[in-house]
Amino acid sequence: MSEKQPIPDSDPAETKLSRQDAWIVDAAEVIYGDRIGIAERFVEHLVTTGIEWGLLGPREIPIMWERHVLNCAVVHELIPKGALVADVGSGAGLPGIALAIARPDVQFVLIEPLERRVDWLDLVIEDLELENVDVVRGRSEQVFDTVDVDIVTARAVSAMKSLVPMTVPLLHGQGQLLAIKGRSAATEIEKADKVLRKFKTKNSEVLTVGDELLEVPTTVARLTYGS
Ligand SMILES: C[S@@+](CC[C@H](N)C(=O)[O-])C[C@H]1O[C@@H](n2cnc3c(N)ncnc32)[C@H](O)[C@@H]1O
């Protein structure tokens, strides 16, 4: 009989930034600067209302900063100043809200089909007083005609092969898809070769970001379109 895994400590109070390892505090301060209080409030939502509303499981609580918020937030390094960004399949605002807090100069639209998730995103955006984030309820395919952005982000939405048709039309021929991926990034790109050609992908690469800030840097598959 296989042994059950122990359930990790999931006390929301443990997610306060002051209780995190020094490297997490340092990384959060570098990324968020004087907006650190907003990031802390976002984490507070994730570990309370986010869990209560069923957007995340309690097992995520102890790893909320490193595996979720900071892992997403470091991707801001790849977003140019003043860009328009769509986050497809935003779920609990990952990476969309984690990025929007770090980058008030960038306008974000979070595209999410599920009503409960959209209601939660609206609640959090209002509470955090984020003026650079809009939420659109729907599948990305339903908003191809109305959303036109410079960058599309996505995490844990789909494998590259199906993610490309679901996201790239939002760029209308010009811009980049930044897909947060795990170790499978290069293999996924290889498997999507036919789709990448169909969508006239100019360049595809696998990058790591946050190497100097995070214990485990974030892997991003970046696809480029247009000139
Ligand atoms: C596994 S969750 C990931 C959520 C979040 N990105 C994260 O990393 O925690 C996948 C999300 O994609 C959304 N989704 C699935 N298909 C979609 C589509 N066609 N357009 C937009 N969102 C979609 C789901 O509703 C869900 O919220």
- Mean pLDDT over 161-179 rounds to 98
Minimal-distance CA residue to ligand 1 atom 7: 94
Q: pLDDT band at 144, cuts 50/70/90?
A: very high
Q: Where are the domains of the chain?
A: 12-225
Which pLDDT belongs to residue 1?
41
Superfamily of domain 12-225: Vaccinia Virus protein VP39 (3.40.50.150)
Which of 14-18's residues contact partners 24+ apart within 8 Å by CB, and which partners? 14/61, 14/62, 15/43, 15/44, 15/47, 15/61, 15/62, 15/64, 15/65, 16/40, 17/43, 17/65
Ligand 1 centroid to Cα of residue 97, in Å, is 14
Atom of ligand 1 nearest to the CA of 141: 19
* Model confidence pLDDT, tens digit, residues 59-101: 999 999 999 999 999 999 999 999 999 999 999 999 999 999 9
Interface ipTM > 0.90: yes
Q: What is the pLDDT of residues 105-142, one digit of tens each?
A: 999 999 999 999 999 999 999 999 999 999 999 999 99
Known binding residue 52? Answer is: no
Q: Is 155 in the pocket of ligand 1 (CB under 6 A)?
A: yes
Kindly state the average pLDDT of the residues 208-227.
Answer: 96
Distance 116 CA to ligand 1 centre (A): 12
pLDDT beyond 70 at 44? yes
What mean pLDDT is reported for the chain?
A: 94
